[in-house]
């Protein structure tokens, strides 16, 4: 699992300050240099799940079945995205929004967990073609010569342009 940006003790301190009734979530957030919505989210998770709600770590994997359950709750109109994130203990509403988008585009296959990062075996990687032992046909020889001559002409044209640029008097 990932590492939380803020420690559990720090989150508990912020939430308990608000819970004691001393200060508002906005004032605590301002003092600590945080976003007020994040602090309010901590308070909600604390109210629903206790200290376990604050022990959040990112990059959790959810099953397709779970994702479907969440999306059905939203589609039925019983819960909003924010409410479902709180109810199902999902850290970010953006995850649910991505699930909705993928479900609309690709159906049930869009909800499957995809591996992240670089693939272990590069399947599309094409190695340089090996030179075969069989001789080239006359047509292939002419095409290669034609390509070589075009490259040679391009180099000569560049060289001429450089020489002309140096010979021009600077005014």
CATH number of domain containing 26:
1.10.10
* Number of domains present in the structure of the chain: 2
Considering the domain architecture, whether residues 4 and 54 belong to the same structural domain is answered as yes
Burial class (CB in 10 A: 0-12, 13-18, 19+), 27: middle
Burial class (CB in 10 A: 0-12, 13-18, 19+), 106: exposed
Of 1, 5, 36, give the one whose Cα is nearest residue 14: 36
Longest distance between any two alpha carbons in the chain, whole Å: 90
Looking at mean pLDDT, say which of 12-21, 117-126, 128-137 comes out highest: 12-21
Range of the domain at 106: 62-113
Is the confidence at residue 91, as pLDDT, over 80? no
The model carries a pTM of 0.52
The arithmetic mean of pLDDT across residues 30-34, rounded, is 86
Confidence of residue 4 (pLDDT cuts 50, 70, 90): low
Residue 39 belongs to some domain of the structure = yes
Residue 167 belongs to some domain of the structure = no
Entry field: residues in the chain: 171
Residue 85 belongs to some domain of the structure = yes
């Amino acid at each position: 699992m990932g590492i939380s940006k803020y420690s559990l003790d720090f989150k508990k301190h912020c939430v308990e300050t608000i819970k004691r009734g001393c200060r508002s979530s906005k004032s605590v957030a301002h003092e600590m240099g945080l976003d007020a919505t994040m602090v309010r989210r901590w308070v909600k998770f604390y109210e629903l799940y206790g200290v376990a709600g604050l022990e959040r770590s990112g990059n959790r994997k959810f099953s397709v079945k779970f994702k479907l359950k969440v999306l059905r709750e939203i589609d039925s109109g019983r819960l909003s995205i924010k409410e479902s994130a709180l109810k199902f203990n999902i850290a970010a509403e953006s995850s649910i929004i991505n699930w909705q988008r993928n479900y609309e585009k690709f159906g049930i296959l869009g909800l499957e967990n995809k591996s992240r990062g670089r693939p272990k075996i590069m399947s599309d990687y094409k190695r340089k073609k090996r030179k075969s032992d069989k001789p080239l046909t006359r047509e292939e020889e002419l095409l290669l010569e034609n390509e070589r001559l075009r490259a040679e002409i391009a180099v000569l044209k560049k060289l001429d342009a450089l020489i002309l640029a140096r010979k021009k008097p600077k005014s």
